[in-house]
Amino acid sequence: MQNQALSKTLSYVLRHKPEELGLHLDAQGWVSVTALLQALQARHPEVTLEQLHEVVATNDKKRFAFSEDEQLIRANQGHSLAVDLALEAVPPPEVLYHGTATRFLSSIRASGLQRGTRQYVHLSPDPETATAVGQRHGCPVVLTVHAGELHRAGAAFYIAENGVWLTLTVPPEFIGAEGLSAS
Ligand code: HQG
């Protein structure tokens, strides 16, 4: 199994469907590394602990983390499962960015940014990252989010281990009127 395929499998299992591999995440989203490795090896015997460590260390978006003693592993963000990442609420920068596809714009203007199946709306610290996120869905457009104002209005913001900002929802009045051209 290539590293990228292993990363995709980890995303799926650690964010959405652990039961697919017969696994169960604890309340904070952690699972035993030994149990995960055994479950992976039942289908892909060539996967090793070393490869797991390599994928966590070299992952382009730092999607996964080991516990300090390296006995547990979890996804840093992106969950649809109701896990409590135990992130501390922190004041966000005045402006954050959300990359999306142009076809979602009218709906977003009408109802704001909704988390959909995920636990949170995901926001990027810079327009470049947001462009890459938007590109996954089609023709990208980057929206500015008035995170400081939204925070002062009472919304909680969290920053995941990998720098992605998380909040429950962004009402339309906190989204900048202009979409930045994603070039
Ligand atoms: C859109 C990736 C219509 C939203 C990324 C997005 C990120 C609406 C899509 C992380 C809407 C959801 C999350 C509304 C939001 N009407 N469309 N009211 N509100 N949307 O994949 O933010 O590679 O669930 O704009 O890098 O794209 O997986 O969220 O286009 O960090 O590690 O609905 O996933 O990380 O799509 O991406 P997603 P996202 P990974």
What predicted TM-score, i.e. pTM, was given to this entire model? 0.90
Atom of ligand 1 nearest to the CA of 63: 32
**Three-state DSSP class for 173?**
helix
Structure tokens given for 44: 């892909």
Residue range(s) of every CATH 3.20.170.30 domain in the chain: 96-179
- How high is the mean pLDDT of the chain? 95
Cα 111 to chain centroid distance, Å, stands at: 21
Backbone angles phi, psi at 178, to 5 degrees: -95, 135
The pocket around ligand 1, CB under 6 angstroms, is made up of 11, 61, 63, 78, 100-101, 104, 107-108, 111, 113-114, 116, 118, 122, 133, 137, 164
Q: Output Rg (C-alpha) for the chain, integer angstroms.
A: 18
pLDDT tens readout for residues 138-158? 999 999 999 999 999 999 999
CATH fold, domain 96-179, is: ADP-ribosylation fold (3.20.170)
Domain 3-75, architecture per CATH: Orthogonal Bundle (1.10)
Instruction: Indicate which residue's Cα is closest to atom 6 of ligand 1.
Output: 100
Q: Give the contacts of 134 (CB within 8 A, at least 6 positions apart).
A: 99, 100, 101, 140, 141, 142, 182
Amino acid at 42: A
Distance CA 162, CA 171 (A): 25
Strands in 13-130 per DSSP E = 31-32, 64-66, 72-75, 96-101, 121-123
How far apart, in Å, are the Cα atoms of 27 and each of 31, 79, 142? Answer: 10, 12, 33
Residue range(s) of every CATH 1.10.10.970 domain in the chain: 3-75
Atom of ligand 1 nearest to the CA of 112: 18
pLDDT tens readout for residues 95-143? 999 999 999 999 999 999 999 999 999 999 999 999 999 999 999 999 9
Q: Identify the band that residue 182 occupies on the pLDDT scale cut at 50, 70 and 90.
A: low
